[in-house]
Copies of this chain bind each other. A is one copy, B any other.
């Protein structure tokens, strides 16, 4: 919060607000005591700085708060001067970010110089932009356009650190990496770091409508103020670009996959071009979701048949028009023939026909098409989990080179836990792109603390066995398994107009983790959480350890209190808020809850085994064999693949029913534990952010309890069994839980 909200007793002079609860306070106090400070100095402080800046989360992980004295001194010795070119917008972005970060972290601007003239210079550039770097003859081969090296060297006999790359954008990424090292207190001596992204496309998908409503958004409105664009370019757009560039995210799909054709009209293309202009220096390309029926809706044609020459021409012309406005336009994302969206099947054509038509339109300009595999149509009667595989595997090899098929991590829809999608590894001749959901549509919206790094990691590390052991999803995605040159990962953004960007401070960690894993899908979720916690809050070990532990278990907790043991799709109808395992009827069976849990007096679970829908057959052996056997399948996926009697004996020794209740309660207890942990961390966190997180954790505990109670109240009508010893019965009747109504829940 800015000054308007500060408490009355936060006197800036007597109590430096930045660290009034922080670990730096003693050090600061010591410095204060050491310094000979006359009244003039106090007056100046008071005059220049009427109030210290409170923290409201706007700064994300780029806070650049002061290091403690010793670290700052070490830092200053390694950055005694900054030698960085500023001839291009990207060069200026890198230099400005370094100055901003160093000034904040080290407490002093190192000053810039054209050449190294003292020890401890930080030298930034490419062989083309920096004579010093050219002379060093660094090995920059294999780094591509986006990689960089950070190395301790000597320049003209003086110790220096270089951030070098083949292109300006590589130096920008290197600059952010160097700042991260300072922020997380890495040693700065004898550096020899070499890094490049593992994936080509590292994108955010915004499900943002042109009226600023965000589908499944829980952080306010769309940050794109379409109405005022292109004339008003909110400074926030630049901060969005900075935050993304700090992670290596290099593209953004501006509009919802449930797209409006209006996005492709000249008026909106101009607006998109204005955003592209803001993002360009940060290496971020703009993409658009394309509505397949646009030729009919805004093109004056009577068809959108992808094989119709008029349609093909319309899209070619549209692509040409877009590239005139946005020369580095990235391409199209398409949701077709899914959940009522138009597509090539409306004309008896295949997904490949549709994708290739668009691919041909953008190919001359270097654009790509990301064609989503998330399809299910009303006509298909089989297990919804099988449909994407059934429709897409036969098309393998039929897509143009600039088409990627974008596959959600699981086959249903971003559930708290799903087995990895069977398409991964099953289309060797087609580059597959990962689609994760960063926004927590099914994981408690903005108030639940659920770190998704572990979810992402679990999927990426899953072994498909499609080319034998070690055929992990990450290797499918990074192209190494099947030798693809075009690779990518998309995350459905959790970004909105809320001051803290993501609806809560801890939801920022999910944006952060996505970006880090898109750069390196083999990275560790725990290490990423540690970096984020250090950059976002505090480097104090007394803080980092407990917070990272808490984050690492938080997703399992949400699985436990929402949908344990492989249950899925049991949330409120439409808005997806809260528990509703009783949902039935309606337009289609696979939009109900009962379709998925199939509880009866005998048992519970969706039989996808070889004796059931046989969805297991879509996996390679031995995965299929393991999933097919209720005794071998991971218990976390038991009810995903099997219909199991209530007295089924679990590995814990409990019956299935008892284990189910145990898991629900365990999830609630974990949240209670997070509240206790967080309460104890108050000394490390500014009051504003601490209070918000604490309030949200309280809401999470209430809602976790509600999920447990409502679920147990419902399922015990089937199990007909008593609760295990010591388990509290739901305090309300099932009728009560069923009666709750939330017509205005957000994100719908």
Interface set of A (CB-CB < 8 Å, partner B): 1-8, 11-13, 16, 18, 28, 31-32, 34-38, 40-41, 43-53, 56, 58-60, 62, 64-66, 92, 95-97, 99-100, 103-104, 107-109, 209-212, 220-221, 226-228, 231-233, 235-236, 238-239, 242-243, 262, 445-447, 497-499, 688, 692, 695-696, 698-699, 702, 743-746
Contact = CB atoms under 8 A, between A and B. Distances in A.
Taking each of A4, A41, A242, which has the highest tally of chain B beta carbons within 10 Å of its own beta carbon? A4
Contacts of A235: 1, 5, 688
Nearest to A237: B5
30 contacts: A2-B53, A2-B56, A2-B59, A4-B60, A5-B239, A8-B92, A8-B99, A8-B100, A11-B109, A16-B48, A28-B47, A31-B43, A31-B44, A31-B47, A32-B44, A35-B43, A35-B44, A41-B41, A46-B108, A51-B104, A210-B743, A227-B445, A227-B744, A232-B692, A232-B695, A232-B696, A233-B695, A235-B688, A262-B743, A497-B498
Given A38-B36, A746-B212, A232 B47 contact: no
A53 B745 CA distance: 35
Given A3-B100, A53-B53, 15 more contacts: A3-B53, A7-B96, A8-B100, A11-B103, A31-B44, A34-B40, A36-B38, A38-B41, A46-B66, A47-B107, A51-B53, A210-B744, A212-B746, A232-B447, A233-B695
Contacts of A32: 44
A53 B108 CA distance: 17
A52 B12 CA distance: 13
Contacts of A702: 231
A211 B747 CA distance: 9
Contacts of A65: 50
Contacts of A696: 232
A604 to B, nearest CB: 31
Contacts of A746: 211-212, 227
Closest 3 CB pairs of A and B: A8-B96, A35-B40, A46-B107
Nearest to A55: B2
Taking each of A32, A49, A499, which has the highest tally of chain B beta carbons within 10 Å of its own beta carbon? A49
A578 to B, nearest CB: 11
B44 A52 contact: no
A108 B1 CA distance: 21
A213 to B, nearest CB: 8
B47 A48 contact: no
A695 B32 CA distance: 44
B221 A497 contact: yes
A699 B228 contact: yes
B231 A699 contact: yes
Contacts of A232: 447, 692, 695-696, 699
Taking each of A1, A8, A36, A239, which has the highest tally of chain B beta carbons within 10 Å of its own beta carbon? A8
A447 B234 CA distance: 13
A48 B44 contact: no
B48 A45 contact: yes
Nearest to A44: B35
A211 B87 CA distance: 48
Taking each of A1, A31, A41, A47, which has the highest tally of chain B beta carbons within 10 Å of its own beta carbon? A47
A242 B4 contact: yes
Contacts of A8: 92, 95-97, 99-100
